[in-house]
Structure 1
Amino acid sequence: MDEDMNVIPARPESESSFTTDEEDEDNNVENDVVLNSEDENNRRVEGIDYDPSLPAQHTYLGSNLRELSGRVVLDDEALVTLPLLTLPGVILIPGQILPLRLEHPAMIAMMLNAIEKERTFGILATDSDVGTTVEIRSYSRGIEDDAEESVLKLKAEGRQRFKLIERWRQDDGFVMGKVKIMCDIEIAHPFDKNLDFTSRGNKYNYKLVPASTVWPSFVFRMYDSHFIMHKINDQLRNWANISKPSPSNPAVDHKIKDVQQTVHETEDTEGSIQIRKTVVTTIRRDDDDEMESIESSEDEEEDAQDFSQTLASPYKYSYWVAANLPLSDDQRVELLKIPTTIGRLRFEYDLLQKCLFLCCIQCGSKICTREDIFSMSVEGPLQNYVNLSGHVHETLTVYRVSNLALVGRSSTQQSWFPGYSWTICECSNCGHHIGWKFMSVKSTRPEYFWGISRANIQPKMN
């Protein structure tokens, strides 16, 4: 680790999770090992009634966070000077939410200084020269009951990629860096003049247009971001119940503003009344405020949802996929370096096809398969959460695991998922910290699930 970096240190593996006053008693509790039990192997998540908006609110940070208005966008290719920070186990992707809990006076001073100016700092990927600018969205400062000194809590959002040019440590201890904002290069589609991508009739028309040009159809698919997005959606469905970004998700430019279900009564030839349910979806285009209505029968509702995906921004969608896949640090850094949207989408599709299962980063024991992943948050299955010690965990939610041992007692203190208690879990083969088991305390479904720290697992590729 470079000595000239602001680093929030990781705690030892045995302490990398939450801590409670019952820690000494917890060490005497016998481990509950999960080893491919029949119940676990046959488990499925059905009928989830948990509010997925709760984890995204990060309520464990408190309710007194001060919201900051306005947004900061730095010019592409601009050279800017930012305070730099490195978080062990975190490779931030644009669009990801980053919660922080800071107690070190120097860190607090650096963040308060950033809030007074551009509200922006940089997260540099470990052992790399690329990173992501981070904009502070809300914060609070005060002295908590269990803390002797002031604590700064904040929520921030990854914004733009950057490349590090140089860095230095100031007299006040802040590590600063001159960075170059990396822009996304938009590659024009070779058939833009021949095909209107917003036309529903041309949604699957991948053969007709290439047939009228000198290019073969595979060239068309290579540069068709919507086609690759459709293929990625198919892969995500194969992975598990991963919530794809809906038009109400921030990762989409065209947002569904209103969904109304109406019942139409029509008379058949015999005079009886038939009930036909339709879904009327009103879509608002952010760029020109045009309104478009799409009406489909109940049988076509799934197709209408698929169609709404074609209205998504490929640029933001590519980052949503990158943020929610349990990739290794090297793979995430590689994604940050790719300068084009179509290049990111193709790289992600390739990784989705190759990933078989997730294993312990220490000993390689199988922890879960890609089919075990599901979303407990509206933002997706992999999100950042911060514990009481200030350590940030990129946590993946899964409903089925193997080769894990529970350690200590359960607790509801500072739970990232309101209504659930947590228990530390380790690899049953090597004792490496893997994550937590979350158990419902309010009769919500699912009854339990697992949170896996991305930094402590690695994908097994074929």
Structure 2
Amino acid sequence: MDDDRILERERLQIELIRELDFEELQVEEVEEDSPDYDEDDLAAFRVTSHTRLSDNLGADELIFNPDVASLHTYLGEVEDTPNRIASVDGGTVLKLPLFYLEGVVLFPESTLPLRIIQSSFLAAVERALNQTNAPCTIGVIRVYREGHQFKYATVGTTAEIRQYRRLSDGSFNVITRGQQRFRLKRRWTDVEGFPCGEVHIVDEDVPLRTPRDAFGKLVPVSNLRGRCDSSKMSTFTPHRDTDEQSVANSEESFEGSLTLSEKRLHYSAVDSLMDGWTSSDDDQVVRTSNIQSSAAHSYSSRSIGCSGQDDKNESGNGKSPVSQGKGQKHYRLTSFREKTDLNRFRMAPRAFWPHWVYRMYDSYHLAQRAADLWKQIVGVPNMEAVVNKPDILSFFIASKIPVSESIRQELLEIDGVSYRLQREIELLESFDLVRCKHCQTVIARRSDMLVMSSDGPLGAYVNPHGYVHEIMTFYKANDIALRGRPVLKDSWFPGYAWTIANCATCETQLGWLFTAANKKLKPSSFWAVRSSQVADDMR
């Protein structure tokens, strides 16, 4: 159903853009020192009429609509593919055509545009469109350079071919969407010359939720040690923090919201976490109880012996038969009380760690934290729609967070929703500086980030030669030198011309400067930096 809604939204947006093609848009005259644009280039401006006006700007000024960039209109008209299938079960083994992409990390639910020119990859697309076991599906693997050699990642993502267009020269324009993670078992070259692989679909874990009804009332075992004294244990009442009490009072029962399978998984994880500690804690409690019991017996004997009675019993132990009987009765009563309190202690609900520790692994709590950080730092797209789906949200953030490709590959390889969210929260909190991968020159800062696509501050785009680039966008950049003149043709952002941008220190191509051809279009310019050229250290 979610896929249908996405496709319907895309269709409506495309139809709106096509309608706007018939509307007239006043284009400002190009100055002499501006780049030369032909009529075909200016026709691209019609797409920019699909914009919204800003209340803070003049009525004649236009704000670029980020929804346009996410549609990849530079690929032209594309058709929906038939016979697509839903996701396969985790653990399934498939044989798929493989696409090795340098500088690209594909995540589930992310869009990946492709331009297929080479004959071998044209055969791969034909195979994918017609295969029966997984129709319209390819595998995407990140390839990277290590010295003079190419290395291949072992974890990738299946991509569903959702739309395509066969051009007159036989090439393909393709729009795919990531589906499921997989582990590459083996790879080979097909007789038609394209790479194939046997992939094992990852069986994703179910996001776990810490049931506050279970843990909210627990006292850490470490707080109970040494509390086996009967006077203390008889008055023992499990406590909880004021904050946790308010949370429990304001939210529904967590246990009630879990499905049967989620409950089994959750309590299995909790049991395995505490099994290693409860037995050792019980042993310590028993030892403490025995020491206290011996001490109590010794104290009661001494107290009775000093009670002023001078009589001695027949055995010469300095106690009268009456006082000896009272002492034995008192010891038996004390021992019974201590055993009863010890049994109560053993039966009491316990947790080895405080409740806040368990929340560190609560996928739903982590998802809310990550969504709040994303809203504070990035803003677009809004994550509230998927905050109750931690697994999807973790992939959304991983696919859009503006960090280096190697860090994003690290996120792709993390098993466990809570662990992936923890790492993303750490990155969002620490991400600040963007440096050149080769010379470590500071290119931009987090505060310079600008979102030019509804997909977020990082996205994948393909050029006419078939190279896919993942870029992050900024409104300001440092130590960058421009090369050549602005070009409007094949622009990823309609209405903007692109100019190659190199690092001023090491002359590595970092990305592009995009400048508005229409001076009424805002922003007037922005920078696009390739994630493959960004250093891992972004602090």
SS at match of 1:353: helix
Match of 1:405 among 481, 496, 502: 481
Q: What is the CA distance between 1:393 and its match in structure 2?
A: 0.5
CA contact (8 A) 2:81 2:161 kept: no
Match of 1:437 among 513, 531, 537: 513
Partner of residue 57, structure 1? 71
State the distance in 2 between where 1:207 and 1:430 align: 57
Which range moves more in the overlay, 125-134 or 152-161? 125-134
User: Which letter maps to 1:108?
Assistant: L
For normalisation by structure 1, the TM-score amounts to 0.69
State the distance in 1 between where 2:383 and 2:442 align: 28
Q: Does structure 1 residue 189 correspond to structure 2 residue 327?
A: no
CA contact (8 A) 1:381 1:396 kept: yes
State the distance in 1 between where 2:109 and 2:502 align: 30
Partner of residue 357, structure 1? 433
State the distance in 1 between where 2:91 and 2:139 align: 16
Q: How does 1:333-352 map to 2 (within 5 A)?
A: 333-352=409-428
Partner of residue 142, structure 2? 125
Greater Rg, structure 1 or structure 2? 2
Q: What is the CA distance between 1:318 and its match in structure 2?
A: 0.6
Q: Which has the higher strand share?
A: 1
Q: How does 1:47-446 map to 2 (within 5 A)?
A: 49-68=63-82, 70-117=84-131, 118-126=135-143, 127-143=152-168, 149-191=169-211, 206-208=244-246, 214=351, 216-247=354-385, 252=386, 310=387, 312-442=388-518, 443-446=520-523
State the distance in 2 between where 1:444 and 1:423 align: 17
Distance change in 2, residues 1:220/1:137 (3 Å):
same
Q: What is the CA distance between 1:355 and its match in structure 2?
A: 2.3
CA contact (8 A) 1:194 1:209 kept: no
State the distance in 2 between where 1:359 and 1:54 align: 29
Per-residue CA deviation, residues 211-246 of structure 1 (Å, 9 max, x unaligned), is 997452322421233332333244335535544335
State the distance in 2 between where 1:116 and 1:332 align: 32
Q: What is the CA distance between 1:458 and its match in structure 2?
A: 2.0
CA contact (8 A) 1:373 1:381 kept: yes
Q: What is the CA distance between 1:356 and its match in structure 2?
A: 2.6
User: Which letter maps to 1:447?
Assistant: S
State the distance in 2 between where 1:153 and 1:337 align: 29
Question: What runs of 5+ residues in structure 2 fail to find an aligned partner?
Answer: 1-34, 37-55, 144-151, 217-241, 250-348
User: Which letter maps to 2:361?
Assistant: Y
Q: Does structure 1 residue 458 correspond to structure 2 residue 511?
A: no
State the distance in 1 between where 2:212 and 2:529 align: 42
Cα RMSD after superposing both structures: 2.7
CA contact (8 A) 1:398 1:450 kept: yes
Per-residue CA deviation, residues 264-299 of structure 1 (Å, 9 max, x unaligned), is xxxxxxxxxxxxxxxxxxxxxxxxxxxxxxxxxxxx
User: Which letter maps to 1:183?
Assistant: D
User: Which letter maps to 1:50?
Assistant: F
CA contact (8 A) 2:109 2:177 kept: yes
Question: What runs of 5+ residues in structure 1 fail to find an aligned partner?
Answer: 1-24, 27-45, 144-148, 197-203, 253-309
State the distance in 2 between where 1:240 and 1:73 align: 30
CA contact (8 A) 2:111 2:460 kept: yes
SS at match of 2:102: coil
Q: Which has the higher helix share?
A: 2
State the distance in 2 between where 1:422 and 1:207 align: 56
In percent, how many aligned pairs have the same letter?
33
SS at match of 1:139: strand
Q: Which has the higher contact order (CA 8 A, sep 6+)?
A: 1
State the distance in 1 between where 2:415 and 2:107 align: 14
State the distance in 2 between where 1:194 and 1:400 align: 50
User: Which letter maps to 1:131?
Assistant: G
Per-residue CA deviation, residues 182-202 of structure 1 (Å, 9 max, x unaligned), is 022125323165699xxxxxx
SS at match of 1:125: strand
